[in-house]
Amino acid sequence: MEANTRSTGRLPAAFLTPGSSSFMDFLGAHQPEMLPGNRQLPPVQGVVEAPHGTTIVAVTFPGGVVLAGDRRATMGNMIAQRDIEKVFPADEYSAVGIAGTAGLAVEMVKLFQLELEHFEKVEGAQLSLEGKANRLSTMIRSNLGMAMQGLAVVPLFAGYDVDRGRGRIFSYDVTGGRSEERNYATTGSGSVFARGAMKKLFRDDLTEEQATTLVVQALYDAADDDSATGGPDVARRIYPIITVITEDGFRRLGEDEAAELAGSVLQARLEQPDGPRAALL
Amino acid sequence: MADRAEYARKGIARGRSLVVLQYADGIVFVGENPSRALHKFSEIYDRIGFAAAGKYNEYENLRIGGVRYADLRGYTYDRDDVTARGLANVYAQTLGTIFSSQAEKPYEVELVVAEVGDSPEHDQIYRLPHDGSIVDEHGSVAVGGNAEQISGYLDQRHRDGMTLAEALKLAVQALSRDTNGSEREIPAERLEVAVLDRTRPQQRKFKRIVGAQLSRLLESGADAGDDVAKAPAVEETDTDSGSDEE
């Protein structure tokens, strides 16, 4: 059912019918079987084994937001992948980090990126940050059937709100419920430990560099206490993926930058294995 | 058939012309367009741009159809599998079927589909007239009301490896020539300019050039302009060369 295999080769009528600027709506009307939410999962006994992505963290700072993730994917007790990428740019001013079933999550991100790009091309303008966050909500909700079978996808969405001039973070639950987080947020199996670290380290006058250091500290603490979260792997040169979104748009830290940040955190942990101490009072 | 072709040609000729030129780092689209919101040029995909002259509602429909086609194809296969050639084919089939179907009125549009490559030799520009034919163009192309005259002017003066400012200046000179040979000034705010820039680090190479950036480019083109216009061998008999006016 590809577009150009019809008898005459012309664009099918659905392509030329004025309608929604949403790619998902178009797909739903034209080729509904391609929408992830429309797939029927065969009845299975027990839990489906598939690689799961783990910890994602985000923190705002004056001028933007940082979104980062570790590199491990697990399948039960096994490490399925050491260098998985779980943080993606959604468009120029936003990024999405995913925890949960890796295969479904990557597909969801691909469709989400396309949804934003398609809208932008058709309308000639970007969706508002809230609009983008709501689209992601819809996509998670359409995965609810899978989530009930243990194949959940729970992302974290972060972006720079061009209208308001600040970074914002949205977190989700498996049913598509969406809430805006103040200051910092975490998701995935190591999120509890990461959140504890961030709670103690966060302050509202962080610089961009401090914010990126903070996320590495939080991921380190998550890896410290959660077996499914990977710490910095110096031997293989695998470091967390760290992205920064500011007025200038999305930027992913290069491998050298990430290595340097992880290196300085590791160095400090040799002295103090539990990381920086917060004041008691 | 002749009536239908005449009808479509007349419709296209009512619109203003636009030009698409290759330059060293990509492909530039230039047209006169008083509207800020209703674009003649747009992004279809990572490396593919779209330009159209003629009836707005018809080419807008084709543009959105093209975006849907490209996005669906990229989603089904891979981003690399979306090509200007494929898209131009689909447009040609669409226009051709509509043109020869008695049940539908012919579309009054002429399209250009361009794809920027890794080097100028890999750039592709296709012109799609109203009847479903498809023309593989090189260097420069003009569509719209005064297209023949403008493309003649461009053919003589366009050369490979022009800078963006030079190409932009040439395009504006070509567009400001009226049918009767006289010239008029097109102010920067009435110009719509977009590029497919192969040097852009982003995956998406399409970019609109507006405001201060456009004025800067127009000015730097005017400075460099004299050498540009004199560089190619232009016969004096042609028409009075517009570049000397600067």
State CA A266 to chain mean position distance: 25
H helix runs in B23-140, sequence order: 56-76, 84-100
Q: DSSP states of chain A as a string?
A: --GGGSSS-SPPHHHHS---S-HHHHHHHH-GGGSGGGPPPPP-SSPPP--EE--EEEEEETTEEEEEE---EEETTEEEESS---EEEEETTEEEEEEEEHHHHHHHHHHHHHHHHHHHHHHSSPPPHHHHHHHHHHHHHTTHHHHHTT--EEEEEEEEETTTTEEEEEEE-TT--EEEESSEEEESTTHHHHHHHHHHH--TT--HHHHHHHHHHHHHHHHHH-TTS---BTTTTB--EEEEEETTEEEEPPHHHHHHHHHHHHHHHHH-TT-PPPP--
Q: Provide the pLDDT confidence category of residue B181 given band limits of 50, 70 and 90.
A: low
Q: Which residues does chain A have with pLDDT short of 50?
A: 1-6
- In chain B, residues with a C-beta closer than 8 Å to the C-beta of A114 are 71, 74-75
Contact across the interface for A122 and B93, Cβ inside 8 Å: no
Q: Provide the pLDDT confidence category of residue B146 given band limits of 50, 70 and 90.
A: confident
A15 touching chain B per CB within 8 A: yes
Half-sphere CA count of A125, side-chain side, radius 13 A: 8
Say if residue B233's pLDDT is above 80: no
- In chain A, residues with a C-beta closer than 8 Å to the C-beta of B64 are 15-16, 18, 122
Domains with residue ranges and CATH for chain A: 51-271 (3.60.20.10)
Identify the residue among B71, B76, B104, B107 best suited for mutation to test binding to A, counting A beta carbons within 10 A and taking the highest.
B71
Contact across the interface for A23 and B71, Cβ inside 8 Å: yes
Say if residue B82's pLDDT is above 50: yes
B82 touching chain A per CB within 8 A: no
B75 touching chain A per CB within 8 A: yes
What are the contacts of A166-169 at 24+ separation with CB within 8 A? A166/A60, A166/A62, A166/A63, A166/A64, A167/A60, A167/A61, A167/A63, A167/A64, A167/A65, A167/A245, A167/A246, A168/A60, A168/A65, A168/A129, A169/A58, A169/A59, A169/A60, A169/A65, A169/A67
Annotated active-site residue A54? The verdict is: yes
Tell me how far apart the terminal alpha carbons of chain B are, to the nearest angstrom. 45
Single-letter residue type at B143: V
> What pLDDT does residue B179 have?
67
Identify the residue among B55, B64, B200 best suited for mutation to test binding to A, counting A beta carbons within 10 A and taking the highest.
B64
Domains with residue ranges and CATH for chain B: 2-232 (3.60.20.10)
Q: What is the ipTM of this complex?
A: 0.88
> What pLDDT does residue B222 have?
74
H helix runs in chain B, sequence order: 2-14, 56-76, 84-100, 147-157, 164-175, 211-230
Single-letter residue type at A269: R
B68 touching chain A per CB within 8 A: yes
- In chain B, residues with a C-beta closer than 8 Å to the C-beta of A27 are 72, 75
Q: In Å, how far is B224's CA from the nearest CA of chain A?
A: 31
Single-letter residue type at A196: G
Nearest to A11 among B71, B94, B204 (CB): B94
A2 touching chain B per CB within 8 A: yes
Per the DSSP assignment, residues forming a β-bridge with A163 are none
Q: Provide the pLDDT confidence category of residue B36 given band limits of 50, 70 and 90.
A: confident
Q: In Å, how far is A54's CA from the nearest CA of chain B?
A: 26
Contact across the interface for A114 and B97, Cβ inside 8 Å: no
Nearest to A10 among B64, B76, B93 (CB): B93
Among chain A residues, the shortest Cα distance to B204 is held by A117
- In chain B, residues with a C-beta closer than 8 Å to the C-beta of A15 are 64-65, 68-69
> What pLDDT does residue B229 have?
44
Contact across the interface for A15 and B75, Cβ inside 8 Å: no
Rounded to a whole number of angstroms, the CA Rg of chain A reads 20
Four-CA torsion A222, A225, A230, A231, nearest 10 degrees: 80
Tell me what the mean pLDDT of segment B50-66 comes to. 94
Evaluate whether A242 touches A61 at the Cβ level (below 8 Å). no
pLDDT in tens, A150-173: 889 999 999 999 999 999 999 999
Q: Provide the pLDDT confidence category of residue B54 given band limits of 50, 70 and 90.
A: very high
Pick the catalytic residue: A17, A54, A55, A74? A54
